[in-house]
Every structure is written in structure tokens, then in C-alpha cells.
Amino acid sequence: MNRYTVLLVDDEEEVIQIIMKKIDWEGMGFRVAGYAHNGVEALEMAEEYQPDVVLTDIKMPYMDGLELSKRLKALYRTIKIIIFSGFDEFEYAKEAIKLEVEEYLLKPINAAELTEVFERVRRNLDREMDEKQNIDKLQEYYLESLPMMQENFFTSLIEGRVPDNQIQRSLMNYQIRMEGPLYIVTILHVSGVEQQTEGNPFLMTVSVKKLAEEQLAETYRSRTLMYLGDIVLISQLGAAGEVMAYTDAMDQFCRLAKKVCGARVTAGVGQFCERLQDLRMSYQGARNAVSYRALYGNTRAINIAEIDPQEPWEERWEDQAIREIIKKIKLGNRDALREEIAVCRKRFSEGGSSLQKYRIFLIELIAELTRFGNNNHLNTDEIFREYNDIYTVAFQEDAPEELWNRLSALCGRLLDMVARERQNTTKSFVTRAEEYVREHYADQDVSIETVCRTLGVSAAYFSTVFKKETGKTFIGYLTDYRMEQAEELLLTTNDRTYIIAEKVGYADPNYFSYAFKKKYGTSPSKYRMGK
């Protein structure tokens, strides 16, 4: 049985105690997370406990049950609210219906009636949970999302963001058949400034994409997607000898696109490759080919292999190693970083690599580390100043052993900087929220929503980070700060209590007194007299 949490809200302590004792909460699959005596207190507790169900009275001081329900529904869409009241007024019931509360009960209510209501609510919660986990519905959602997931996969593939060991699993998960044995990327670039027909440039590109799917998808088992404003074709060939015929077919397509769509299209054809993980280089070749349209003209196909002859590209293992080292630094995984460097070191040693390869690797790694540091706004000068002799070490005859030690230490320092910067960013984020409280605590409208709008983050992320760093919910922190300011005003001024309440952000002086007594154990006036 699923177990759900309940928050009880009523200004009468006796009522709450009776409800807690007379109901078999555990037997029904519920747990009482806590109880509050008014809506303001309940709102604060809801932020901390995130209850599944709230049982609340309507008539309460400071914030009534209807206003509480309205705010809870705005913050937590899935929360279930049960209202019980001693007032049989149509306006209350009508407002409750508008708020989509689960039940509207009239006092007095007995244990049997309330048990029946909670069992009904639990069945609704169970049904919603089952729907989320229902295989048929998940399958339906999966099929609806499949085209988008497939396009995201191919986008990640040409960007080089799919790890080699995840490609085959992704093909299976996304129901993609890419049997090759050769793959080639083509970019169809629509020159908007040279279109012969008027209209929306984006719709023109969509029209060309549709034509490409009709004319090329079946013959070349092509996958078509939109990427950075261009149309990208990922095609499959049977042999290297088919590349020339494929290029001619792309050339014919460009002429067809001009005739059918009125669009001037340049087809940039990249190098063919044997592995899907190498598609990113084929894509880069296709981009380079498109850039040559200024020399060779558009409305034609340009094969990068013909204008810039080179062997089919194959990624060096050193490039992969550098990417993995950067990745481990980014994730802050020190053990994995040491392991990656050790594997790299072993491969150099066992492969009988020349000292020249060590030096080239060093230069490339340092360049990538510098670029990574700059992109993440790190002060890399701090590191490289300490290791400024690393190039000197690399060019010594007995350099390898010392070089690996220096590289390992340098990468470790960079990892520390990333972790420190991430921590500083989080602390800065919380500090800005704390500063916001200090500057706006007197504003009666301060809330999670207002501070999140100022910081430009979601309430869910903000609440998680703020509590992790401070140990308090935001509302709890705001209340504590207001109480500290109120205490100081009580001891240093002769202001009346209602004036102090207004100065620290409370519109209702009675609720201010309630909150003050809750924190300090006595009313504001008695606290002042006692001090």
C-alpha cells in the first residue's frame, strides 16, 4: 500500500487532537506529517513537508482555509484539499468548488465519516499513481514522444555528445535502424536571401525538408532533421563507391528543390564514415562543404572530399582521452579522473609512443583545459602560473614520468577549482536571497514567488538549494529574520506593538503577536517588560 502524508489545519487544538487520535491513519495508508493552527503557519509547513493531503478548517485567524487552499493549489497542483467547516453557506461551497477541493464537509464530523472521505481520497491518489506507472499509458506516451526523442538522439550524435557505449542501446530504445555499413552526413542549406518566391523563410526550409524526405529517405535510408537552421540528412551507403552517385543525387535534388519549392539549396556532403560515433566529423565536413558555396555557387552539391581531398577520418584515441579527462573534471569525480589519467598513461607506455607524441598530447590537453576553464569563468592563470614549467619538463629527455605527475596534479587542481566555483555559485545564490530578505522583510508581499522572480529561478530549485545551505525553509528564514528585527525594535524603541508589526512586514498585528510568542514563548509586550 502506498503511504501518503497529511497536514491538519485548525485553530482549535482540541479538534486537531481528536482527529489525530480517532482516525486509524496508518491503517488507511496515511501519516500525519504535522498540524498548524492557522493558514499562514500551514503554508510554511507545506513548504517543508510537501503533504499529499491537507485537511483544513475555513474560519481561522490570519489566513482562512479558502485563501490557504488557493495558495496551496497555486504552488502544488497535485495536492488534495479537504475542507471542513461549521458554516453552511453557499458562497463557501461555491468557492471550494472553484478551487477544486476534494471534499467540503460540515461540522461536526464523526470518525466514520472522515475515514470514509480519506479512503476515497486514498483511492484517487492510488489511481493517479497507477496511471503514472501504467505500462499501456507509458507505452502510448513513449510512442508519441518517439519522433522527438529520435531527433534529439541524432542531434546529440552529430554534436559528439553520445558516449560510444550508449549508441547501440539508444538505437534500440528509440527504435532506430542504422545498419550502414557506411554513413554520411549532408547539409541542405537554403539561401533565404536568394529565394525566388516570397514567403516565410522557415516555411520554405520546411518545404525543402518535406521534399527531401519524399525523394531521398527510402533510397538512402536517410534520417532528416532540422539543426541550426539547416536541414541535416544522415544517409546510409552500401560501399565507398556509392559516394559519387550519392553526390550526383544530391546535385539533382538541389535542382529539383529550385523547381518545386522555388528555393536555392546548397547540398554540403561530408566524408563517409564506418562508425556512428564518427558522424560528428562527417557533419563538420558537410558544414565546411557548404561554406564553399561562395566559390562554387549554390543550387548544387559540394562534396568536401572532392574539393579538400583527405583520407576518411578516424578519431584518435588521444582525442577521446582528452574529452574523458575534461568530463571527469567537470563532474568532480577525483577517483575517476585518476583512473582515466592512469589508463591514458598506460596506453602511451604500452604503445611505445614517441616523446613527440607526449608533447603533442600535452599541448592539446593544456589547450582544452584552458578553453574549459575560460568557458566556465575560472581563473586558470592561478593554476598555470604554478605549473608554468610543465612545457620545460615535457621537452626534457627523461620527461614522461615527471610529466604525468605534473599533469595529474594540474588536473586535480582544476577539479578543485570547478568544485569550489560550483559551491561559490550556490552560496552566492543563497546569499542573494538572504540579502533580498534583509532589504524587503518589511514588505508584506514577500514570498517564495517574489524572490524567485528576482533571482530568475524556479520555486522548486530555490526551495531545495536554500534549505540545503541554510537548514531552513525560505518562509522559516524570513519569519526568523522578521522576529529578530522585531525584538530589536521592542528593546530600542517605544513603538506600539502594531507599529512594530507593520515595520517588520505583518499586516495583522494579532498574527505578529502569535508568531512572536511562538518563537520567544511570550507576547511582545511581556517580552519588552521582562527585558
Q: Are residues 159 and 226 in the same domain?
A: yes
Pairing of strands 53-57, 80-85: parallel
Q: In sequence order, what are the beta bridge partners of 5?
A: 31
**What is the distance between the alpha carbons of residues 437 and 478, in angstroms, rounded to a whole number?**
6
| CATH number of the domain within which 257 lies | 3.30.70.270
Residues 336 and 202 in one domain: no
Boundary of a domain, candidates 307, 340, 371: 307
Do 302 and 234 fall within a single domain?
yes
Residue that is written with C-alpha cell 546529440 in the block: 156
Is this prediction's pTM over 0.75?
no
Least confident of 52-56, 180-184, 291-295: 291-295
466 lies in the same domain as 405: no
**417 lies in the same domain as 448:** no
In a domain? residue 183: yes
Question: Does 164 share its domain with 256?
Answer: yes
Q: 409: Cβ–Cβ under 8 A, 6 or more apart, which residues?
A: 387
For the ranges 46-55, 94-103, 266-275, which has the lowest average pLDDT?
94-103
426 in a structural domain: no
**Are 85 and 194 within one domain?**
no
pLDDT at 195: 42
In a domain, residue 476? The reply is yes
Backbone dihedral region for residue 471 (phi beyond 0: left; psi -120 to 50: alpha; all else: beta): left
Say if residue 157 is in the same domain as residue 303.
Answer: yes
Task: Say how far apart CA 460 and CA 445 lie, in whole Å.
Answer: 19
The letter for the amino acid at 403 is L
**Residue 190: which domain range?**
146-307
**Over the stretch 451-466, which tens digit does the pLDDT of each residue have?**
888 888 877 778 888 8
Locate 437 and state its grid cell: 530578505
Does 312 reside within a domain? no
Out of 421, 455, 476, pick the residue that ends a domain: 421
* Cα separation, 42 vs 6, whole angstroms: 11
Are the CB atoms for 207 and 263 separated by under 8 Å?
yes
In a domain, 395, yes or no: yes
- Choosing from 365, 390, 421, the residue where a domain stops is 421
* One domain, residues 339 and 365: yes
Query: How many domains is the chain built from?
Result: 4
Helix/strand/coil for 366:
helix
What is the C-alpha end-to-end distance of the chain, expressed in Å? 54
Residue at 138 is within a domain: no
What pLDDT was estimated at residue 367? 76
- Rounded to whole angstroms, the Cα distance separating 64 from 42 reads 10
For residues 400 and 285, which has the higher predicted lDDT (pLDDT)?
A: 285
For cell 491513519, name the residue: 25
**What CATH number corresponds to the domain at position 476?**
1.10.10.60
Question: What's the DSSP call for residue 239?
Answer: S
Per-residue pLDDT tens for 306-362?
887 654 455 567 777 888 888 888 888 888 888 888 888 887 777 666 667 767 777
Element housing 1 (H / E): none
Residue 165 lies in a domain: yes
Identify whether 121 is part of a domain: yes
Q: Are residues 71 and 41 in the same domain?
A: yes
Residue 407: predicted pLDDT? 75
My answer on whether 330 and 391 are in the same domain is: yes
Domain identity same for 50 and 119: yes
